[in-house]
Amino acid sequence: MSVSNNAVIHIEGLTKHYGSVHALTDLRLDVHRGEVFGYLGPNGAGKTTTIRTLLDLIRPTSGSAQIFGLDSHQDSVRIRERLGNLPGELSLWNHMTGWEVINYLGELRGGVDKHYVGELADRLDMDMSRKVKACSSGMKRKLGLIQALMHKPDLLILDEPTNGLDPLVQQTFYSLIREISSEGRTVFMSSHNLPEIEHVCDRVAILRGGRLAAVERMSDLKKVYFRWMTLRLDGDAAPQAFEALDGVSDVTAHNGTLRFRVTGELDPVIKLAAQYHVIDMTYEEPTLETIFLEFYGEN
């Protein structure tokens, strides 16, 4: 098996079946050093199965995975020394405080930089003295992120990391991910939320029904990434003016309301709309499935 020198994660024919349920079938994937890799798919697509196999929590029916060039099963302990993990359905010890959780997990890692943990807690606005049982789901998620980041791992595997985080903390999380990437560390994060992946990822894999449907650079996917925009204007607007803009299509006008599809940057649309008296503006994110069909429909 040849592994690219740059591949932090190398997955070769990974398959996991539970009886007649095919959770994952013949997955082949490389994730490179310093990359922020998005792992996208609807619920039940096999994202968590992939992650749990990489972490050696479940064993593949066939195929294998290498992390840092080491076998994910045979060398699991050595891999986990350099890996930070945030499970999708995070459970922590309810009777412990945030600090107790970190101290416990830190001791299992042979010690932890408490100053850095304090910094992370400050940035994520986490009260570490609170008992886990008294934490909201968002606070537990923050604690989960802190334990995943606290030892500055070379590889972060995050399963739906922003689930339950409020928008402000999500922004902090995106900053942290960008910092980690700039330090040459690698992030593998699953999500079913395309805008989130769009924020931080360099490449994205799309999983459907346990099979890898596509691996694309985010910049390529963005070319077809569109939104539906609706503008309610005070007075009539000329649909032709909007239609003439790059990336705008399918314009319809009715009683001062314009609805159209925008692909790429919003800037030209905003500048044109600013010439009118805008009463309301809304836009809808497309589903992952729609983007996927769009991408492969056009290619």
Partner 1 sequence: MKNTGVIFKRTLWDSRVGILSWGIGLGILALGELTLFPSISEAFAGMSELLNSPFYKAFLGENADAAAFATPAGYISTYMLAFVPLYVAVYAVMLGLGVVANEEERGTLDVLLGTPIPRWQVIVEKSAAVLVILLLVLLLNGVGALLGVLMTPELADVSLGRVLEASFSMLPVTLVMAALALFFSTVLRSRNLAAGVTGAIIIASYFITNLSSIAQEALGTISKLSFYSYYSPLDTMRGGIVWSEFAILCVIVAALFGLSIYAFQRRDISV
Interacting residues with partner 1 (CB under 8 A): 48, 52, 55-59, 76-78, 80-81, 83-85, 87, 89-93, 95, 104-105, 107-111, 144, 147-148
Q: How far is the CB of 269 from partner 1 (least distance, A)?
A: 44
Residue 93 or 283 having the CB closest to partner 1: 93
Q: How far is the CB of 89 from partner 1 (least distance, A)?
A: 6
Give whichever of 55 and 218 is closer to partner 1, judged by the CB atom: 55
- DSSP type of residue 131: B
* Long-range contacts of 127-134, Cβ-Cβ distance < 8 Å, separation of 24 or more: 127/98, 128/97, 128/98, 128/99, 128/102, 129/97, 129/98, 129/99, 130/97, 130/98, 131/94, 131/95, 131/96, 131/97, 132/92, 132/93, 132/94, 132/95, 132/96, 132/97, 132/98, 132/101, 133/94, 133/95
Closer residue to partner 1, CB minimum distance, 98 or 144:
144
Which CB, 80 or 211, lies closer to partner 1? 80
To partner 1, the closest distance from the beta carbon of 144 in angstroms equals 8
Question: Cβ of residue 205: shortest distance to partner 1, in angstroms?
Answer: 21
Name the H helices within the chain: 47-54, 76-81, 98-108, 114-123, 137-149, 167-182, 194-200, 218-224, 239-243, 267-273, 288-298
Residue 83 CB, shortest distance to partner 1, in Å, is 8
Min CB(30)–partner 1 separation in Å: 23
Comparison of 104 and 283: residue with beta carbon closer to partner 1: 104
**Under 8 Å between Cβ of 189 and 38:** yes
Q: Nearest approach, Cβ of 87 to partner 1 (angstroms)?
A: 5
Our CB check for partner 1 shows the closer of 71 and 220 to be 71
- Please tell me what DSSP assigns to residue 134: G
CB contact burial 81-120 (16+ within 10 A = b; e otherwise): ebbbbbbeebebeeebbbbbbbbebbeeeeebeeeebeeb
CA dist list (Å): 213 to 24, 55, 110, 205, 286: 12, 23, 40, 8, 18
Q: Which is nearer to partner 1, 31 or 90 (CB)?
A: 90
